[in-house]
Amino acid sequence: LFRRAQTGQGQHVTPTLTDTAFQLMSAQITASLRSGKELTFQTTDRKHAGQSCYVAKDGEQIMLGAGNDQQYARFWTLVGEPERGAASLAERYGRAADERARIAALMLTKTAQEWEDCLQQNHSAAARLRTVQEAWDGPQTEYRNARQWLEDGDCPGVEGRLSGPVAGFGADVDGPRVD
């Protein structure tokens, strides 16, 4: 919109959830990167057992996203217990503690990466929980120019090189910048 107002020409803008999350947490991420203090998750447990976080065999965490009826049924079929996937939402909430315990036991049979690969290959929403630092250092952040580097002297009162999130979107011309 700024480009259109200034030049009369529009452009394509591509928002992503990761870029947006980085931007919404920009102060925390920049402080963490500068201080070296790792950011942690506040909570990863949800009311629904299929949409919660579990510890895998390697001690890493895997977040499941089997929330709707089809996803939930697909998950339980994949792990060999299709009868559990046929339950209604009310039934699932009623036996959430039991299902949470069963899923927790299942998750201990593979590493988080093995679960992520297996579940995603079978169209079941899941991902290994990555630290903010892992996501920040990941290929998408670099590819999408979601971070900007400020060199020594660019940021008054801050010595040395500093990086931080720029925006929750990319643009095809003159992308967003902190300065």
Q: What is the pLDDT along the chain (179 residues), one digit of tens a residue?
A: 667 788 888 877 777 777 777 777 777 777 777 777 877 665 556 677 888 889 999 999 999 988 888 999 999 999 999 999 998 888 888 898 999 999 999 999 999 999 999 999 999 889 998 887 887 787 777 766 667 777 777 767 777 777 777 665 666 666 656 55
pLDDT at 42: 59
Q: What is the pLDDT of residue 98?
A: 94
Q: Yes or no: say if 128 and 64 are a contact pair by the CB < 8 Å rule.
A: no
Note the pLDDT of residue 44.
59
pLDDT given for residue 114 in this prediction: 97
The reported pLDDT for the residue numbered 175 is 60
Exposed/middle/buried for residue 12 (C-beta within 10 Å: 0-12, 13-18, 19+)? exposed
Q: Report how far residue 82's alpha carbon sits from residue 73's, in angstroms, rounded to the nearest whole number.
A: 7
pLDDT for residue 177? 60
How far the first Cα of the chain sits from its last, in Å, is: 18
Those residues with Cβ within 8 angstroms of residue 61's Cβ, 6 or more apart along the chain or in another chain: 44, 53, 54, 55, 112, 128, 129
Report how far residue 113's alpha carbon sits from residue 90's, in angstroms, rounded to the nearest whole number: 31
Give the pLDDT confidence score for residue 117 in this predicted structure.
Answer: 95
Q: Are residues 108 and 57 in contact, defined by beta-carbon separation less than 8 angstroms? A: yes
Q: What is the pLDDT of residue 121?
A: 94
